[in-house]
Amino acid sequence: MDHNSILDKLSVATEARFDSFSDRDEVQCFQGTRIELLQQIMEWAMSPSQKSIFWLNGMAWTGKSTISRTVVRSPEDTNHLGASFYFKRGEGDRAKAKKFFPTLTRQLILRISELRSGVQKAFDQDPGTASKSLKEQFEKLLLQPLLNLDQFVQQTRTTVIVVNALDECEHNPDVRNIIRLLPLLQKAKALRLHIFLTSRPEPSIHLSFSKIMDNDYQDLTLDKIPEELTARDIQFFLKNQFTKINRDRNITTNWPGDDVIQQLVTMSVPLFISIAPVCRYIANSRWEPRSRLEELLTDQAKYVSRMDKTYVVLTQLLDDQDNDEPEQQQLLQEFQKIIGVIILLATPLSVNALSALLGMGAEKISNRLNFFRSVLNISDNQDQPTGFYICRFETF
């Protein structure tokens, strides 16, 4: 079996690479922003003493994918990038795990030719390996070929694999299996694999990480980054965008001024990437930018409408096909009862306080709220307040 025929046997998700045509318009972090965070990630990626997995998590619109694209295209990482898989909900093979490991393997072979013999052996033993269970795919197409490298490669090298938006993989059991299997790649000694993984803080993903060893991964929650750092970067981005708008539209005054920029910053924190579509809305060449900005500031619904798709996806999580009709109705009623109280409260309450107020078990409240970690600040301590990260979901 020659080199090309091995690659042909690996059924891959062609659009899942970080540089795929379908993602050609996706942006990176604006230069001069996220400096501390990007430095931390790059230090992890390049250091041989770091944990093998870096899990970057955060609610919707906090910029996980933007950060991921910046990391994968950075000069420091380009020479160390082995493979990437960018999950995307509703996008065929990119929304499924079936081709996840074959896709990574194919990219790794193109970077590390010594892997070829191990993958060839797997296909010699079973030509249908690429369509087996996730566990078999992982072991035969990735783990065993990597272990075989130990006899061919004398010097250990660091290689980075980027897995973006794991929460957008459609089948939760597959997500759990991926998280369970990836730490096993540490067994390979000739190739030091570092895996940079991003996702929303979904309950199933939290649970899966809690079941692997602490020394296998480190995590960073974007929502926990100090607000002053996020506000600083958003302000920097806004000032640059308005400078460009003023130049392009021949606006000679210092428009819109520091007070208005600060108002936009306050509206956006901590949703870093929510401000980019707002700037595009204001800069639309068919309209007068001053009036567009005024509309946004006076009509919050226009701002909310730019994030509705995110919240629709979240509410669809409640539509569980495994529930019968009475169970589904109960789930919806409990959700409305809990979320309704949180929206109406001027001061956030803890899960235990909500339990006492609603006459509902704390465990049940925690379970219902877990589905909305992307917009709710939920502490593992049931005595800590629970509230919205932002007000936009309330309006929605």
Residue 240: partners with Cβ closer than 8 Å, 6 or more residues away: 30
In this prediction, residue 358 carries a pLDDT of: 86
CB 296, CB 378: distance < 8 Å: no
CB-side neighbour CA atoms (13 Å) of 278: 29
Q: Which domains does the chain have, with CATH numbers?
A: 3-224 (3.40.50.300), 227-306 (no CATH), 309-395 (1.10.10.10)
**Residue pLDDT tens, the chain, 396 long:** 455 678 889 999 999 999 999 898 888 999 999 999 999 999 999 888 889 999 999 988 889 999 999 999 886 656 789 999 999 988 999 999 999 999 999 999 999 988 999 999 999 999 999 999 999 999 999 999 999 987 776 667 889 999 999 999 999 999 999 999 999 999 988 888 999 999 998 888 999 999 999 899 999 999 889 999 999 999 999 999 999 999 999 998 889 999 999 999 988 887 787 788 888 889 988 889 999 899 888 866 555 544 554 444 445 555 554 556 777 777 777 877 887 777 677 567 788 888 888 888 888 888 777 766 655 666 667 777 665 544 444 444
In this prediction, residue 70 carries a pLDDT of: 95
In this prediction, residue 102 carries a pLDDT of: 97
The token pair that represents 62 in the structure block: 């906090």
- The closest of 382, 370, 355, 353 to 205, measured between CA atoms, is 370
Write the CA distances from 233 to 51, 230, 256, 268, 393, integer angstroms: 28, 5, 18, 11, 23
In this prediction, residue 109 carries a pLDDT of: 95
In this prediction, residue 249 carries a pLDDT of: 92
